[in-house]
A and B are shown apart, each in its own frame.
Chain A
Amino acid sequence: MAQQEAQDIRTRDGAAAAALLAAAIGIFVLGLLTTLADMERFSDFSQWLAWDDEVGALSGKSSLGLIAWAATWPVLHLLLYRRDRVIPAASVVSLVLFVAAMVLMFPPVFERLADL
């Protein structure tokens, strides 16, 4: 009975929605940090992001993005894996986060925002 229920849960799309959303959140965090690290007013933060001296701020930016992805995925999975038909909504939210991340990660944009 319990095995049948577990099989049934795996036919629902909540787990895929969680994976999609978590990836979008990780990518958005990376995009946001890319812009923040380039801004003059956050120069201390940018220096703090140099977790590896040879790699510079990229080490902290990428690590925090990966941590955000890895931390949100299990949480979202637990919240969503029993639900079904959530992929369309998750896709819309993920698309918004992804587009925002792409804008924030695009050099002409974050260099333009650097002086703010």
Chain B
Amino acid sequence: MELSNRDGWAVVHGLVLGTIFLLAFAGGLAGMWSFAWKLVTPEGVRERLRRLIVGTWGMAVISWAAVITGTYIVYPWYRAAPPQGTTGAALQEYPRSFLLADPSLDLWHKFGMEWKEHIAFLAPILATAVAVMVTYYGPRLADKPLVRYALMAMFAVAFASAGIAAVFGALITKNAPV
């Protein structure tokens, strides 16, 4: 059993960073939903705020790490052009070309990767905006339901975009590993 350099980075990008982000979402959403004076005591607000700030900043950092490793480490291996005349099993070293060469697999690139590589960028943008706003408003967030709803919507879209990227990442890797 051996894990190559490429396997290692693919695991860090998708299984470690991507999974942590997706798993942390539920906690962050629940924290924001219940962050209201009518639901918790002043002591509870202070305790939840610390957790919310650490959690949202943690998710923002993780989403940046996932997108940067995906775009600048894993993706170049995926889209590398094969030498002229490369065919058959040798093409498997070049996942993008391998998928495009097979009409039964080309949609994994034309639809899956083309969507994944762009939509993934929504997650760090939105997660960072949420983290900054939670820090900016602090305990006042408990008085601002509309602001909380807006932040929860941004958080949910970040989760959905990361989820789409993660699902296609896993399925594309299954068909054409980097």
Contact = CB atoms under 8 A, between A and B. Distances in A.
A11 B144 contact: yes
Interface string B79-121: 1100000000000000000000000000000110011011101
B115 A106 contact: yes
Given A11-B140, A34-B118, A62-B121, A55 B75 contact: yes
A61 B133 contact: no
Interface stretch (B6-14, B21-29, B52-60, B124-132): B124-132
A97 interface: no
Given A66-B121, A66-B125, A105-B115, A111 B140 contact: no
Q: Does more than half of chain B's interface fall in helix, strand or loop, or is it mixed?
A: helix
Contacts of B115: 105-107
A11 B76 contact: no
A10 B140 contact: yes
A11 B76 CA distance: 46
Given A16-B147, A54-B76, A55-B72, A10 B111 contact: no
Nearest to A33: B118
Most interface-central of A13, A16, A98 (chain B CB within 10 A)? A16
A15 B133 contact: yes
Interface in B48-81: 71-72, 75-76, 79-80
B178 interface: no
Given A23-B154, A52-B72, A65-B121, A15 B136 contact: yes
Is chain A's interface secondary structure helix, strand, loop, or mixed overall? Answer: helix
Given A20-B150, A34-B118, A58-B71, A11 B143 contact: yes
A91 interface: yes
A55 B71 contact: yes
Contacts of A91: 150, 153
B121 A30 contact: yes
A90 B146 CA distance: 11
A20 B154 CA distance: 8
A36 B151 CA distance: 30
B49 to A, nearest CB: 14
A87 interface: yes
Nearest to B119: A105
A107 B129 contact: no
Contacts of A87: 146-147, 150
Given A20-B129, A54-B79, 7 more contacts: A10-B136, A19-B129, A20-B154, A23-B129, A55-B71, A107-B110, A107-B111
Interface of B: 71-72, 75-76, 79-80, 110-111, 114-115, 117-119, 121-122, 125-126, 129, 132-133, 136-138, 140, 143-144, 146-147, 150-151, 153-154, 157
Q: Which 3 A-B pairs have the closest CB atoms?
A: A54-B76, A107-B114, A16-B147
